[in-house]
Structure 1
Amino acid sequence: MHSLSDAVDLLHSWYPPGTAESWDAVGLVWGDPSAAVRRVMFAVDPAPEVAEEAVAWGADLLVVHHPLFLKPVHGFAPTTPKGRTLTTLAGAGCALLTAHTNADQAVGGVSEAMATALGLTDQAPLLPAPADPLDKVVTFVPTADAGAVRSALAAAGAGRIGDYDHASFSSAGEGRFRPLAGAHPTIGEVGRIEVVDEVRVEVVAPRARRTEVVRALLAVHPYEEPAYDVVELADPGASVTGTGRIGEVAETTLAGFAALVAERLPETAHGVRVSGDPDRPVRRVALCGGAGDFLLDAVRRTDADVYVTSDLRHHPAAEFREHDGPALVDVAHWAAEWTWLPVVARRLAESWSDTVETRVSTRCTDPWTFRA
C-alpha cells in the first residue's frame, strides 16, 4: 500500500518542482500525506466537473496539469468555481496535485507526449534546459580507506551521472609527506618522510551540493590534513529536457500533416488551424504543448518546416509568416496537453502495478464549445 506522500515523491522525481517556472504554482495543493492512495485520476484542468468525476470514481488523488490557484486568493468558498473544486475533493478525501511547467519540460512530459502522439522521431528539446552546474571533486586516500570515502561522497550527493549513482574513478599512486611538530599523523611519525600507497578518487557532484560533499569528505578521511581539489566543470552541453520538441515525420505535405494532427489529437470545437501553403513539404516538425507563441523566435532559427502549438495570437503569427518562417498549425490548448495524461497514467500504473488503479479523464474542458 502506498501513501499520498509516496505518490507525491514519485511524481516529483519524474517532474521536479524545481524545474517549474518562477511564476508557476505546482505540487501538492491539498491532501493528507499519510493517506492511502489506491486510485489516481489524471486530467488537464481542475474544473468542478472534473472534481465531481474523480469523486464519483472513488479517486484518492487527482493529478492535474493546470494549477487550481495560479494566482493568490483570499479564500475558496464553495460559492466560487475554484472553491467548489476544492470543497468537492476535500469532502471526499481526494487529494489534488498539480504538475504544470515542471511537466512541460521533462522527459516523458507534455511536449514529448504530444510529439510522440504526432509520430515525431529523433526528438530533441526545441529550447534545451540549462544543465545544472557540476564540480569534480578529487581526493587522495590510503588504499584501505578508499571505500569508506567513496561511500561518504555518494551519500552526500556526489557520483550521480544520469540514471547511475556511486560513480567514481580511482587510480593507484604514492603519497609522500613529512609530519611537522604539532601534527598528529594517522600514518607515520613527526619529522620523518612517509610514503603511503594511496588511491586518487574522483567524483562529479552538483555545485549546489559542494559544501555538503566537502564536509562529508573531511569527516570520513583518515588524514588530519587531507589533500583534495574542487574543479568547476564547463557546461556539459545539450540537455534531454527543455521547452518544446523538434523531430522528424515521414515526408508529407502541410495539408497531409494537418490532417494527421487532427486525427491524432482529441477532437475539439477549436479544430486545427493552419497557416501556409497546403502543398508545402513537411519533414521537420517543431512543437510546444500549450501556449507556444513565446517560442516563435526560437523556431525561426531552426530548420523546421512547421510549428505546432496553441493559442497563437494574430500579430505574432502574422509577423512570423511575413518573415517566411515555417508553416503554423494552431490546435486547442486542452487537446495538445491531454496527450500527456495517458503517458503519466501508464507510467504510474507500471510503477505500482500491484497497488494502484489509474484513470484518464476524457471530459473535454476546452473553453470553446461550438463553431457558428
Structure 2
Amino acid sequence: MTTTLGQVIAALEAAYPPRTAESWDAVGLVCGDPAEEVTRVLFAVDPTESVVDEAVETGAQAVVVHHPLLLRGVTGVPADDPKGHVVHRLIRAGIALYCAHTNADVADPGVSDALAAAIGLTVTGPLSANPAPELDVLTTFVPHADAVDVLAALHAAGAGRIGDYRDAAFTVAGTGQFRPVDGANPAVGTLGELEHVDETRVEVVLERRLRTRIVDALRAAHPYEEVALNLHEMADLPSRTGLGRVGVLPEPEPLHVFAQRVADALPETVQGVRASGDPDRMIHRVAVSGGSGDSLLKTATAAGVDAFVTADLRHHPASDHAAGGDAVPALVDVAHWASEWPWCEQAAGVVRAAFDGTVDVLVSTRRTDPWTVGATSRTRRTNQR
C-alpha cells in the first residue's frame, strides 16, 4: 500500500486546518506533486538550506516546516535568490515542501501545547481563545411516523454536529394541538376542528451560518403545511483553539529553578534562556506562547499567571511590563526557534499515527536559529541594582 503526498497533506490539514490561518499568512504546499508517493517526511521549523541538505541526505520526499518560505508575495523564484535557490534545490531533488504556520499556532493541540508539554505543564486552556462557532438551537414538532425522516434531513443539511460527534439530537414524545381555519390545507386534521396529534419534539444544534439551509431542509421534509419551530441563538462561548496556552506545574518552584527547567527542556541556543522577575518568586500557573509573544503581555497579565514563557521579547515592552513587579507575571524569554521546535515532534506524530508502517517520520535536530555566536563581557561595566 502506497501513501501519496496528497494523503499526508490531508492528515496534516485535519490537524491544522488552513482556514484557521491568519489572512496575511502563506500556508500549504509550496512545491511538490500531491499524486507522488511519499515514504519519508522530515519535520523542521525553518525551510533553510541546511534543512534541505538534511532532507537530501536522509532520502525524504517531503519536508514539513512551521515557518513559510515565501511569506511575502513574490513574482519569481530565480535560482540566484536565496529563497529561489531553496525552491530549485527542492524541485530538482524531487522533494515537496509544505508549511503549517499560524494554523498550527492556534490548533488544539498546536505549537503552544507542544511547548507546554516540553516544559512539563498540564494545559488548562488557551491563553487567548478563539471564539467557538456561533450556534443556534432548533426545536420543531413532528408526527411520530415522520420524525426519523425529518431528523435525517436535518442531519444531512448539517445540523447536530458537536465537536467530533455527528447526528446529535434530543427527542421526546408529546401531544400537539392545532385548529385548521379557512385557507388551510392540512396534512392532518379537519377545517374548523381542534386536532390533537401524537408528536415528537426534535431539538438539534446547528452552526448559525447554516441556519437558512437547515430551516429550508426542515420545511422540505416536514409533512405539515405550516411548520412549528423555535430557533434560539446560543450565547457566544470561547473555544479550545487560540494563541498560547495556560497550564500548571506539578508543584510550585522558584523562578530561577523554573527558568532552568525551561532551558533544560528546549534545544540549546546561543541566546539561552533569560528571565525577568524576583528569582525567588514561586511559579505554579504559567502561560506560554510559541514564537513572538510580547503582543500577549497584557493577556498573560489578565490571566493571572505567575510566569509567561515566550520568545522575541523586546526591551521596552518587557521593561514596561516588569515595572509592575509581583502584580504581573514573571517573564521567561527563549529563542524563537527553540520555542517552536517541540511542535515538530507533535506534527510528526500526526503523520505517524495516520500512516504507521508506511511513512517514516524524521524530526530535524539541526539548529536553524539565526544566532550562531554568543559572548559575555569579561569586564564589569555596570552595577546590577
- TM-score normalised by the chain length of structure 2: 0.90
Change (3 A) 1:246 1:198: same
Q: Identify the residue that residue 127 of structure 1 maps to in structure 2.
A: 128
Change (3 A) 1:227 1:127: same
CA RMSD of aligned residues (A): 2.0
Q: Identify the residue that residue 34 of structure 2 maps to in structure 1.
A: 33
Task: Report Cα offsets for 1:311-355 as digits up to 9, x if no partner.
Answer: 011111111101212221111100110011111212321222132
Q: Identify the residue that residue 339 of structure 2 maps to in structure 1.
A: 336
Contact 1:55 1:88 in 2 (8 A): no
TM superposition shift of 1:122: 4.4
One-letter amino acid matched to 2:79: P
One-letter amino acid matched to 2:370: P
One-letter amino acid matched to 1:370: V
Change (3 A) 1:34 1:186: farther
Q: Identify the residue that residue 246 of structure 1 maps to in structure 2.
A: 246
One-letter amino acid matched to 1:167: A
TM superposition shift of 1:184: 5.0
Q: Identify the residue that residue 119 of structure 2 maps to in structure 1.
A: 118
Q: How does 1:59-138 map to 2 (within 5 A)?
A: 59-138=60-139
- Counterpart CA distance in 2 for 1:219 and 1:30 is 46
Secondary structure of the structure 2 residue equivalent to 1:294: helix
Q: Identify the residue that residue 370 of structure 1 maps to in structure 2.
A: 373
5+ residue gaps in structure 2? 376-385
Contact 2:123 2:245 in 1 (8 A): no
Q: Identify the residue that residue 195 of structure 1 maps to in structure 2.
A: 196
Moved more, 105-114 or 120-129: 120-129
Secondary structure of the structure 2 residue equivalent to 1:129: strand
TM superposition shift of 1:190: 5.5
Contact 1:291 1:310 in 2 (8 A): yes
Change (3 A) 1:224 1:248: same
Q: How does 1:1-372 map to 2 (within 5 A)?
A: 1-179=2-180, 184-188=185-189, 193-236=194-237, 238-249=238-249, 250-324=251-325, 325-372=328-375
One-letter amino acid matched to 2:365: T
Secondary structure of the structure 2 residue equivalent to 1:278: coil
Change (3 A) 1:97 1:122: closer
One-letter amino acid matched to 2:252: E
- Counterpart CA distance in 2 for 1:6 and 1:134 is 31
- Counterpart CA distance in 2 for 1:214 and 1:5 is 36
Q: What is the number of equivalent residue pairs in this alignment? A: 371
Moved more, 272-281 or 107-116: 272-281
Secondary structure of the structure 2 residue equivalent to 1:341: helix
One-letter amino acid matched to 1:71: R
Contact 2:116 2:123 in 1 (8 A): no
Contact 1:48 1:82 in 2 (8 A): no
Secondary structure of the structure 2 residue equivalent to 1:2: coil
Moved more, 143-152 or 263-272: 143-152
TM superposition shift of 1:289: 0.5
- Counterpart CA distance in 2 for 1:330 and 1:226 is 60
TM superposition shift of 1:356: 1.9
5+ residue gaps in structure 1? none
- Counterpart CA distance in 2 for 1:35 and 1:223 is 53
TM superposition shift of 1:22: 2.3
Moved more, 191-200 or 15-24: 191-200
- Counterpart CA distance in 2 for 1:283 and 1:165 is 38
Task: Report Cα offsets for 1:136-191 as digits up to 9, x if no partner.
Answer: 11222221222222222222222111221111101112233455566554444556
Change (3 A) 1:55 1:152: farther
- Counterpart CA distance in 2 for 1:218 and 1:31 is 47
- Counterpart CA distance in 1 for 2:6 and 2:186 is 48
Secondary structure of the structure 1 residue equivalent to 2:352: helix
- Counterpart CA distance in 1 for 2:4 and 2:209 is 30
Change (3 A) 1:51 1:122: closer
Q: Percent identity?
A: 54
TM superposition shift of 1:85: 2.0
Secondary structure of the structure 2 residue equivalent to 1:240: strand
- TM-score normalised by the chain length of structure 1: 0.93
TM superposition shift of 1:2: 3.5
Task: Report Cα offsets for 1:52-107 as digits up to 9, x if no partner.
Answer: 32244333332111111111111111211211222222233333221111111221
